[in-house]
Amino acid sequence: MKKILLISLGVLVAAGLVAFMVVKQQSGYTKVLTAKVVRQDLSTIISGTGQIKPKTYVNLGATAMGRITNLYVHEGEHVKKGQVVAAVEHVQQEASVTGQKAAIDAAKTDVASAVANERTQDANVEHAKADLVQKKLDWERAVGLYEAGVYSKQQYDAAKAAYDTDVASVNQAIAQFNQAKAQTDSYRGHLHTQVATLSASVNALDLTKAVAPFDGIVTNEPVREGETVVEGIQNTEGSTFMTLADMSVVTAEVKVDETDIINVRLGQTADVTIDALPGKVFKGHVTLVGDQALLRSTGIATSQSTTGTEEAKDFKVVVTLDVPTDDLRPGLSCTTKITTAHKTGILSLPIQALTMFDPAADPKGKKDGAADAKSNPVQGVFILNKDASGHLRAKFVPVTTGITGATEIEVLSGLNEGQEVVSGPYKILRGLKNNALLKRDTIKVNLNAGS
């Protein structure tokens, strides 16, 4: 029994010595998380929230005052271009149209009568002219016979008087024809006036009806049958029957943070998700990038704000959906993810591996005469570098970066594929020095891999 205790005690002492040596050996090491530089596809994505809106919509307002007699469609219903969707009372307007049609019929009768009279007067002119020809021949013959001494002075004077009378008759007939012609023109003028008045009356009747200007859907109907509506005058807005939206072209109008807007361009692709339609992703593209900053608290453009307070700002971005569906409704909340950059097969590393380091401020990195150098930190990473004894040491390498993904960033220069870099923890990485002894923190790595 005593022998067993001595053996156990010896084992414990040996284990303690081994543990002491291990701890002593590792006391100068810094445990770090590591990652490798790899090739992969990388996309820069920015997001914004907003709501679904039709590209084209219109508020159908009242164009005549009166009581609503019919609302032919209701919210959520589809309408066709040219369809009558609402009407107000129009007894007076219909009576005006009927009266004007009767007046036009009467005017047409007057014109027809005047035309007939004009033709009669024209015939009278022709008859008077024919009679004048005969009287002229009689007069010329009377002159010859009178000069030959055959006709008496009385016969000569009678022929002359008959000729002069027919000349006057012709002139009278022409005057009566011109008068009839003027009368016809007058009646035609009256007819044109009645036709124009009818057009005005028909237009007044049409204004009592609201007509859909395009195919769409009724998104709002703030009035009911029996209510009285009025048309807008000057700067006063009139009553609204309903709002129609053209859902053939649907957009997502979202707000993008001012720090991201500089990277947004027309034509960039986007994925739109809608809170009311979980699991669906709508493809789209950017069709408008606002140039006015909007205050995040009020949504008012900074150019219109009278306050001088500094606060976060957003910019409006409109994404047009490539294939809209009938499930979409104006006003639905949505989130849009816009791809502002995409590259394939590029070198990348975790963003958290990047750090700002000043070699001049690092005692181990100073060169002769660099003690008083001004702080000039550069962007880079610490790579794991083996020394002559095979120990891992930190070596700072400046890195030039490109586009940024969700968790990775593009490497343009400074690193090669497969190199291992220090990726954390942040507190250790922030204070890490050049040539520091490193040890991979395998426990945390395994935990991260398991999660």
For residues 347 and 427, give the distance between their C-alpha atoms in angstroms, rounded to a whole number. 26
Domains of the chain listed by start with CATH number? 30-43+345-450 (2.40.420.20), 92-206 (1.10.287.620), 248-341 (2.40.30.170)
Q: What is the pTM (predicted TM-score) of this model?
A: 0.62
Is the CB of residue 139 less than 8 Å from the CB of residue 163? yes
For residues 303 and 294, give the distance between their C-alpha atoms in angstroms, rounded to a whole number. 9
For residues 61 and 229, give the distance between their C-alpha atoms in angstroms, rounded to a whole number. 9
For residues 280 and 283, give the distance between their C-alpha atoms in angstroms, rounded to a whole number. 10
Phi, psi angle pair for 284, to nearest 5°: -160, -175
Q: Residue-wise pLDDT tens for the chain (451 aa)?
A: 555 655 666 656 555 444 433 343 344 688 999 999 999 999 999 999 999 999 888 999 998 999 999 999 998 888 999 999 999 999 999 999 999 999 999 999 999 998 999 899 889 989 888 888 888 888 888 888 888 878 888 888 888 888 889 888 889 989 988 998 899 999 899 999 999 999 999 999 999 999 999 988 898 899 999 999 998 887 788 899 999 998 889 999 999 999 999 999 999 999 999 999 999 999 999 999 998 888 887 777 777 665 656 778 899 999 999 998 888 888 899 999 999 999 999 999 999 999 998 877 655 544 444 444 467 889 999 999 888 888 999 999 999 999 998 899 999 999 999 999 999 898 888 888 888 998 888 765 544 444 4
For residues 436 and 16, give the distance between their C-alpha atoms in angstroms, rounded to a whole number. 28
How far, in Å, are 251, 253, 311, 313, 376 from residue 300 at the CA level?
21, 15, 12, 10, 41
Hey, how many other C-beta atoms are within 10 angstroms of the C-beta on 380?
A: 22
**Three-state DSSP state, 357:** strand
Task: Tokens for 238, please give them.
Answer: 């009139």
| Cβ-defined contacts of 446-450 (< 8 Å, 24+) | 448/33
- Half-sphere exposure of residue 1, counting CA atoms within 13 Å on the CB side? 0
**Three-state DSSP state, 389:** coil
Question: Which segments within 180-257 are labelled E, that is strand?
Answer: 209-211, 216-220, 228-229, 240-257
- Half-sphere exposure of residue 395, counting CA atoms within 13 Å on the CB side? 13
How far, in Å, are 57, 81, 153 from residue 238 at the CA level?
17, 23, 91
> What residues have CB less than 8 Å from 395, skipping those under 6 apart?
382, 383, 384, 385, 434, 435
Is the CB of residue 42 less than 8 Å from the CB of residue 432? no
